[in-house]
Structure 1
């Protein structure tokens, strides 16, 4: 039993408490050795190695249940990690959707519109496509006053002529002279507008709160008036 490592040494090595060790023992993840009930716990090297792996997996946010399944089966840890990634991505998608709904509500309330009014989703999506095309045409023609009218009133002051001129120049610098819209369609929660240029095809992405544009982006340039 000379190889056994004391509980105090294990706690010091991994910066954990004895309570944590006892919890992992209770869950059946590691085992300790005691010569007598009155003496402190000790751990064999292989149990300490298991503990090290447990702590790494916990740092990856794997649950105790996940870790138990890994220890009791031949499952590759990569499978558990990928499963966790899927769960987190789903949670993030749900949070993003919730955030967009809240931002939409703020926009509508700011514009003194009714957030409880029922809407025809296909009709709204069709309207947003039309607005995205119209916005792009106005931007390229430098009709900035009409362009800014497509945004919530609270954000229009940020869309200065100087800012929009610089935006236009950056678009042309990368894509050459821009002369016509090729296509426009919806992708998830944004409207994609493709513009034919002499050098490249430009993609502008618009994000909407109902009939108002809340953000638009091109390349690495972005204007975002969401909360």
Structure 2
């Protein structure tokens, strides 16, 4: 028996809006029958069966365009190709979600292990935001390009969570190019003078409230024979609008690949030990020593030599290459 059901009945029974039913009719997926003087829309058994099929295909997240193709042909290879394409898209989505999972797991691990403050934790997330946005863009690119970029990024994330027993942790980080304000000083104890000069400049330019700023320092030249003086250089990351002034210059840092460990809990005289341990780790790893600049990044706030935590929370960046 061919029983007719009004559009309201179908909408209630199958949880689909009457507007959607009318849309399916407009694009040719279903046909209705007009009944009564008011010309109400109604659907026979064939239309109801088609509606059930559409609901199932939509639950499988097939597009209306794909469903139109399925209903317009009896060719089985067409159906197979559509479902194979959907399966490929699901594989890509799974791959992208796994990558996001790695990002979040690594972010949480760093927050828990290093006990960052909220501000420095957000800073860390900001540093990763460009990578996360890039990963999102990859998810909507062509399959071959996305596959290559996601695989490269997945490899980078995997490297970033490698552990060794000699240190609390070693991360492999591809430090991206940065625009930096810099100052270098040579004396018996150049760190204090260099940081004081830089921090005064930072405050004068109202950059001290930016939690996205990063602070680096490093020995810029060793002491000469018979002298105790050596050089120390400090960096602060800055935006495009910041200009050099006074003793502070501006330059571009090209970035590079680094093995990174942390000195949390170590007194200042243990910093060379962290460098030595990183040196030994690189010798035993699959990496070679790089030629770019060693760096010491200060966390979580503006460095101050008067602060007893000045040397207790540094990330030591040791340059490496594949």
TM-score tier by shorter-chain length is 0.3 to 0.5
More helix per residue: 1 or 2? 1
Which structure has the greater CA radius of gyration? 2
**Relative contact order, CA 8 A, sep 6+: which one is greater?**
2
> Normalization by structure 2: what TM-score?
0.34
> Normalization by structure 1: what TM-score?
0.45
